[in-house]
């Protein structure tokens, strides 16, 4: 106690309370931003095709689906949860949409059906996780398998063509900007506002930080979990529709691997599987990095098979860097010094 | 004379700690600790909560690395200080929680990690069962080695651990509150087991709050306070009163204002009717009025924790009803309890009390926001709220923006209280509110709790700190594992009276 007395507390105040807050948010994202710039700069130096408005529009369209799904994943990760079924669900919804279009339904009908199905799926998953206390890992792994199979069954094993439906959303422009990009921007903005200003967002971080504490502090933990799964799935509904428009078909395997990429992007952006952390800004940078890598590899004529390799390496390097920062030699040295000097320090 | 012989004749101490210190953040858990234990000696170790007993155990078990000082076991230095090395040097620790794999058989648990093998790596089961039975017999227990360990009584599980320790040729046996979950006859059996081990030259360090059994069992007793050894004496030369005095040291009496009389006409704000939880809490009833502070005390396994959780809505009783707040609404969840004005301050502050990674603004506003229907929060307003409570409660923190994990225990506790004060709570359920908290924060919290009572709140303080109970409580409910609950009035309170009826924290 005496170690925290007057003078030292005042000193700590000068460094930690006011000035350090914003820079801290930025410094944690700085490596990611630098990596993004580095990949962009390298691509620009190697080919003239990268830094063109045409290619940047394409890039945005390429990352729109992943971005929307990653926003939902960030909400779940803030509360210490995740959903492995989102990729398969997006594909299933795109197939359902294509089938409806085949039957002559309009875009509005398709949109409503897709969103409703998504919401239902999310509410169901969330209820099972929250009320029956089933771990999300196996549950959503099972759900992913079910959705993937249903998509194949409904589609009859091959993509269902639907070339005109949501073509503008997937490939076109609104106000001279790629329309998928606009949808993505709106989704990211709303998700960011939700996490920062909505009670649900604050509760998500609380549940992710310590579920026991949240429960005992009166937070209705089950309701929070159901709401987050529902919201995340609703975003998958939007992602499914964009996917349908972009591919011009309902592809039963078109969402494969998106769930892991979404988690990878969020974790690159500072989220943790343990919960209580993560931000939409970070996730956005993570999505941009993954998208830029894929885009650059294509432009540079690298075989597409290397794309997963690059994603994997980026993720591995990121977690190693994070671990070094938190438990590594540097952190250890700093902690020891702090203890010796009796300074305030976070428990972890 | 060989080392082995000298060791057995007690010339080399079985355990020796020299100048061991350990600092955790702002608190000194062990302060230049010195302790010597001879082979064939049963030593009692007593001290109030937070005196450093667990840290001492960890240091000997290799579970913690002291900042300075040396631990020597049977003449060998514990280096590097890891659990493996400690075990190899003959240290066995029986923690309060049973270290038993419940799905494995008794034999596998006794021979854990040392099952006899056949030539190709398969387990030699006949041999394993035979050896387990022998080991159990050696410590005087009859158990079928084929039984599943999870289905045994706590006492039987404990004897498995003792058999395991002895079979590994333990030279130093440390027991932390071993009788907490045992009945009277089971305790007697444990004592004869330990005397038996003493005959074979094992040194026993016996940690207990239960002073009567200290007098019954041990050869000598060491008293710890504030991370130091304050006395070590043969048990014949110590009196109970003197021991209690040594344990508690300086008295807080005089530093805390005299408690006001409890109002007799206050509104009843807590009403628990005939609560039953499993076989730990058997038919307990409790009424608390506005302005009243009721303390609840009892040992581990007395149902104390369960009662606290029932009052806070965190656990549903098997039978009985809890009603709280104005209009005495029935409690079904922490959310419902909070809505009815109940504040819960749990015992495990770090795991259940604060959000370690979140800043103080989040930590303080969380309960209020969980109750109100407003779907959005206003950052500047909530920052103002948390800043105000930090100032008003005297939290030593450089503003609201630091994570709660950076604060000392006392300040974390103030943050939790601020959370509930902001939410407008009128009923406070506090589980060990000052455990592991330094003296100044403790006094602040006592004053705050008394002010709350004076302002018409109803308080239930679950505590094993007798001084705290004496300073705060209008009435005391004593829970005991094998007997029914007892009420004590304010006048009947003394540390000694509580020790004598055998409630150990």
Per-residue pLDDT of chain B (505 residues; tens, 9 = 90+): 455 655 555 578 999 999 999 887 667 789 899 999 999 999 999 887 778 888 899 999 988 888 889 999 998 998 888 888 998 899 999 887 778 888 999 999 998 878 888 888 888 899 999 999 998 887 777 889 999 988 888 788 888 888 888 888 889 999 988 877 677 777 888 898 889 888 888 999 999 877 778 888 999 999 998 888 999 999 999 887 788 778 876 566 666 677 777 777 889 999 999 999 988 888 899 999 999 999 998 876 788 889 999 999 999 999 999 999 888 999 999 999 999 999 999 988 888 999 998 999 999 999 999 988 778 888 899 999 999 999 999 998 888 888 898 888 889 999 999 999 999 999 999 999 988 787 788 889 999 999 999 999 999 999 887 778 888 999 999 887 767 788 888 777 765 566 655 544 4
Q: What angle do CA A22, A25, A26 make, to 5 degrees?
A: 90
**B271-282 tens-digit pLDDT:** 999 999 988 888
Question: CA of B345: which chain A residue's CA is closest?
Answer: A216
| Residue-level pLDDT at A256 | 87
Interface contact A209, partner B, CB < 8 A: yes
> Inter-chain contact A4–B353, Cβ cutoff 8 Å?
no
pLDDT tens digits, chain A, 348 residues: what are they? 333 333 333 333 334 433 344 455 667 788 899 999 999 999 999 999 999 999 999 999 999 999 999 999 999 999 999 999 999 999 999 999 999 999 988 899 999 999 999 999 999 999 999 999 999 999 999 999 999 999 999 999 899 998 888 888 888 888 888 999 999 999 999 999 999 999 999 999 999 999 999 999 999 999 999 999 999 999 999 999 999 999 999 999 988 899 999 999 999 998 988 888 899 999 999 999 999 999 999 999 998 889 889 989 998 988 888 787 776 665 555 555 554 544 444 433
Interface contact B51, partner A, CB < 8 A: no
Q: How far apart are the CA of B99 and the nearest CA of chain A, in angstroms?
A: 24
Rounded distance between C-alpha atoms, residue B504 and residue A196, angstroms: 47
Question: CA of A212: which chain B residue's CA is closest?
Answer: B352
> Inter-chain contact B314–A215, Cβ cutoff 8 Å?
yes
Rounded distance between C-alpha atoms, residue A208 and residue B214, angstroms: 44
Give the dihedral sign, CA A66/A71/A72/A73.
positive
Interface contact B29, partner A, CB < 8 A: no
A-chain residues near B414 (CB < 8 A): none
> Inter-chain contact A209–B357, Cβ cutoff 8 Å?
yes
Interface contact B144, partner A, CB < 8 A: no
Interface contact A174, partner B, CB < 8 A: no
For the domain spanning B252-341+426-505, the CATH number is: 3.40.50.300
What DSSP letter does each residue of B411-456 carry, written as one string?
Answer: HHHHHHHHHHHHTT--EEEEESTTTT--HHHHHHHHHHHHHHHHTT
CA B298, distance to chain mean position in Å, is 11
A-chain residues near B441 (CB < 8 A): 1
Interface contact B68, partner A, CB < 8 A: no
A-chain residues near B357 (CB < 8 A): 209, 276-277, 346, 348
B-chain residues near A17 (CB < 8 A): 398-402
Q: How far apart are the CA of B399 and the nearest CA of chain A, in angstroms?
A: 6
Q: Where are the domains of chain B?
A: 3-90+170-248, 102-168, 252-341+426-505, 359-424
Q: Pick the closest to residue B231 from B215, B216, B213, B249 (CA basis).
A: B249
Rounded distance between C-alpha atoms, residue B458 and residue B473, angstroms: 11
Q: Where are the domains of chain A?
A: 56-280
Interface contact A22, partner B, CB < 8 A: no
Question: CA of A209: which chain B residue's CA is closest?
Answer: B355
| Residue-level pLDDT at A6 | 35
| Residue-level pLDDT at A235 | 98
Q: Is CATH 3.40.50.300 the classification given to domain B3-90+170-248?
A: yes
Top residue of A216, A219, A278 to mutate, by most chain B CBs within 10 Å, is A216
Peptide bond into B428 cis (omega under 30): no
B-chain residues near A202 (CB < 8 A): 362, 365-366, 369, 377
Interface contact B371, partner A, CB < 8 A: yes
Question: For B225, what's the count of Cα atoms within 13 Å in the CB-facing half-sphere?
Answer: 13
CA distances from A30 to A42, A195, B488 (A): 18, 21, 62
Q: Which residues contact B341 (CB under 8 A, 6 or more apart)?
A: B269, B324, B325, B326, B424, B425, B426, B427
Residues 170-189 of B with CB under 8 A from A: none
Residue length, chain A? 348
**Who among B314, B355, B401 is closest to A206 (CB)?**
B355
* Sheet bearing B329-330, strands edge to edge: B281-289, B268-277, B319-324, B329-330
A-chain residues near B396 (CB < 8 A): 1, 4-5, 9
Same fold flag, B3-90+170-248 and B252-341+426-505: yes
Q: How far apart are the CA of B472 and the nearest CA of chain A, in angstroms?
A: 23
Question: CA of B380: which chain A residue's CA is closest?
Answer: A197
Q: How far apart are the CA of B183 and the nearest CA of chain A, in angstroms?
A: 32
B-chain residues near A218 (CB < 8 A): 334-335, 337-339, 366-367, 370-371, 423
Q: What do you get for the CA distance between the two ends of chain A, in Å?
A: 19
| Residue-level pLDDT at B6 | 56
A-chain residues near B27 (CB < 8 A): 1
Q: Pick the closest to residue B470 from B253, B226, B166 (CA basis).
A: B253
B-chain residues near A1 (CB < 8 A): 26-27, 396, 408, 410, 438, 440-441
> Inter-chain contact A348–B405, Cβ cutoff 8 Å?
yes
Rounded distance between C-alpha atoms, residue A100 and residue B136, angstroms: 72
Interface contact B362, partner A, CB < 8 A: yes
Cβ atoms of A267 and A119 within 8 Å: the answer is: no
Interface contact A177, partner B, CB < 8 A: no
Give, as one character, the DSSP assignment of residue B235: G
Interface contact A197, partner B, CB < 8 A: yes
> Inter-chain contact A2–B367, Cβ cutoff 8 Å?
no
Rounded distance between C-alpha atoms, residue A285 and residue A36, angstroms: 8
> Inter-chain contact B403–A16, Cβ cutoff 8 Å?
no
Q: How far apart are the CA of B350 and the nearest CA of chain A, in angstroms?
A: 9
| Bridge pairing between strands B220-225 and B228-234 | antiparallel
> Inter-chain contact A205–B358, Cβ cutoff 8 Å?
yes
Q: Which residue has the tokens 């829970």?
A: B479
Rounded distance between C-alpha atoms, residue B263 and residue B173, angstroms: 51
Interface contact A7, partner B, CB < 8 A: no
Interface contact A18, partner B, CB < 8 A: yes
**Who among A198, A210, A339 is closest to B375 (CB)?**
A198
Rounded distance between C-alpha atoms, residue B13 and residue B38, angstroms: 5
Interface contact A203, partner B, CB < 8 A: yes
Q: How far apart are the CA of B370 and the nearest CA of chain A, in angstroms?
A: 5
B-chain residues near A196 (CB < 8 A): 379
| Bridge pairing between strands B68-73 and B76-77 | antiparallel
Pairs across A and B, CB distance < 8 A: 140
Q: What angle do CA A188, A192, A196 make, to 5 degrees?
A: 175
Q: How far apart are the CA of B358 and the nearest CA of chain A, in angstroms?
A: 7
Q: Pick the closest to residue B438 from B410, B406, B418, B400 (CA basis).
A: B410
| Residue-level pLDDT at B502 | 52
C-beta atoms surrounding B85 within 10 Å: 16
Give, as one character, the DSSP assignment of residue A19: I
> Inter-chain contact B334–A215, Cβ cutoff 8 Å?
yes
A-chain residues near B356 (CB < 8 A): 209-210, 346-348
A-chain residues near B411 (CB < 8 A): 4
> Inter-chain contact B362–A200, Cβ cutoff 8 Å?
no
A-chain residues near B440 (CB < 8 A): 1
Q: How far apart are the CA of A230 and the nearest CA of chain B, in angstroms?
A: 17
Cβ atoms of A91 and A148 within 8 Å: the answer is: yes
> Inter-chain contact A197–B376, Cβ cutoff 8 Å?
yes
| Residue-level pLDDT at B156 | 85
Q: Pick the closest to residue B180 from B314, B41, B280, B104 (CA basis).
A: B280
> Inter-chain contact A1–B26, Cβ cutoff 8 Å?
yes
Rounded distance between C-alpha atoms, residue B209 and residue B176, angstroms: 10
CA distances from A38 to A291, A296, A321 (A): 14, 12, 17
Cβ atoms of A280 and A305 within 8 Å: the answer is: no
| Residue-level pLDDT at B500 | 55
């Amino acid at each position: 106690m005496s170690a925290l007395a007057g003078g030292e507390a005042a000193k700590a105040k000068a460094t930690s309370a006011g000035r350090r807050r914003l820079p801290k948010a930025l410094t944690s994202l700085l490596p990611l931003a630098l990596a993004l710039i580095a990949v962009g700069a390298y691509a620009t130096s190697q080919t003239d095709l990268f830094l063109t408005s045409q290619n940047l529009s394409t890039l945005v369209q390429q990352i729109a689906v992943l971005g929307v799904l990653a926003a939902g994943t960030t909400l779940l990760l803030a509360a210490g949860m995740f959903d492995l079924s989102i990729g398969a669900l997006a594909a299933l919804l795109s197939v359902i949409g294509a089938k409806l279009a085949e039957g002559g339904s309009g875009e509005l009908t398709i949109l409503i059906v897709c969103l409703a199905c998504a919401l239902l799926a999310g509410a169901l998953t969330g209820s099972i996780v929250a009320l029956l206390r089933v771990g999300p890992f196996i549950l959503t792994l099972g759900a992913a398998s079910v959705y993937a199979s249903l998509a194949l069954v409904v589609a009859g094993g091959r993509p269902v063509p639907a070339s005109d439906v949501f073509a503008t959303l997937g490939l076109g422009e609104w106000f001279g900007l790629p329309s998928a990009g606009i949808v993505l921007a709106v989704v990211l903005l709303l998700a960011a506002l939700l996490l920062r200003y909505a009670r649900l967002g604050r509760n998500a971080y609380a549940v992710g930080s310590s579920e026991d504490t949240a429960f005992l502090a009166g937070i209705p933990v089950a309701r929070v979990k159901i709401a987050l799964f529902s919201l995340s799935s609703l975003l998958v509904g939007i992602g499914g529709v964009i996917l349908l428009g972009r591919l011009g078909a309902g592809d039963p395997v078109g969402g494969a691997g998106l769930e892991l990429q979404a988690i990878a992007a969020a974790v690159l952006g500072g989220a943790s599987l343990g919960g209580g952390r993560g931000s939409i800004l970070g996730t956005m940078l993570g999505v941009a990095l993954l998208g830029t890598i894929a885009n650059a590899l294509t432009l540079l004529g690298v075989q597409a098979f290397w794309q997963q390799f690059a994603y994997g390496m980026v993720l591995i390097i990121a977690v190693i860097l994070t671990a070094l920062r938190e438990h590594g030699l540097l952190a250890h040295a700093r902690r020891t010094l702090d203890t010796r000097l009796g300074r305030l320090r976070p428990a972890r | 004379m060989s080392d082995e012989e000298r060791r057995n004749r007690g010339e080399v101490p079985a355990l020796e700690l020299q100048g061991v210190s350990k600092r955790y953040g702002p608190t000194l858990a062990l302060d230049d600790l010195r302790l010597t234990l001879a082979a064939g000696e049963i030593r009692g170790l007593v001290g109030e909560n937070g005196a450093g007993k667990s840290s001492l155990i960890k240091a000997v078990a290799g579970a913690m690395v002291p900042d300075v000082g040396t631990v020597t076991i049977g003449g060998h230095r514990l280096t590097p200080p890891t659990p493996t090395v400690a075990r190899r040097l003959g240290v066995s620790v029986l923690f309060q929680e049973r270290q038993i794999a419940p799905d494995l058989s008794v034999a596998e648990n006794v021979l854990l990690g040392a099952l006899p093998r056949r030539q190709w790596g398969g387990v030699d089961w006949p041999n394993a069962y035979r050896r387990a039975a022998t080991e159990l017999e050696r410590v005087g227990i009859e158990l079928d080695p084929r039984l599943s360990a999870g289905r045994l009584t706590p006492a039987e599980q404990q004897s498995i651990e003792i058999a395991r320790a002895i079979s590994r040729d333990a030279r130093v046996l440390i027991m932390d509150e071993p009788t907490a979950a045992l009945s009277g006859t089971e305790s007697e059996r444990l004592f004869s087991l330990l005397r038996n081990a003493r005959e074979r030259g094992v040194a026993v360090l016996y940690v207990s709050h239960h002073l009567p059994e200290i007098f019954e069992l041990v050869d000598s007793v060491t008293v710890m306070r504030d991370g130091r050894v304050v006395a070590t004496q043969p048990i014949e030369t110590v009196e109970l009163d003197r021991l209690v005095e040594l344990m508690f040291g300086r008295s807080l009496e005089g530093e805390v204002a005299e408690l006001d009389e409890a109002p007799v006409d206050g509104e009843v704000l807590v009403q628990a009717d005939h609560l039953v939880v499993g076989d730990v809490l058997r038919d307990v009833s409790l009424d608390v009025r506005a302005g009243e502070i009721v303390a609840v005390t009892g040992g581990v396994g007395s149902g104390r924790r369960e009662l606290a959780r029932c009052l806070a809505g965190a656990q549903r009783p098997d039978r009985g009803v809890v009603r709280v707040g104005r209009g005495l609404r029935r409690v079904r969840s922490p959310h419902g309890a909070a809505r009815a004005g109940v504040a819960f301050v749990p015992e495990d502050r770090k795991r259940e009390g604060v959000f370690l990674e979140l800043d103080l603004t989040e930590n303080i506003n969380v309960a209020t926001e969980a109750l109100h229907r407003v779907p959005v929060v206003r950052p500047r307003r909530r920052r103002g709220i948390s800043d105000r409570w930090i100032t008003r409660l005297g939290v030593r923190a450089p503003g609201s923006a630091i994570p709660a994990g950076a604060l000392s225990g006392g300040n974390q506790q103030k943050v939790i209280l601020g959370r509930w004060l902001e939410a407008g709570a009128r009923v406070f359920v506090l589980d060990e509110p000052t455990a592991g908290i330094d003296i100044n924060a403790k006094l602040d919290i006592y004053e705050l709790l008394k002010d709350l009572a004076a302002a018409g709140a109803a308080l239930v303080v679950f505590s094993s700190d007798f001084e705290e109970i004496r300073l705060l409580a209008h009435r005391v409910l004593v829970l005991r594992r094998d007997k029914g609950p007892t009420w004590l009035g304010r006048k009947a309170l003394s540390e000694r009276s509580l020790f004598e009826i055998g409630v150990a924290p």
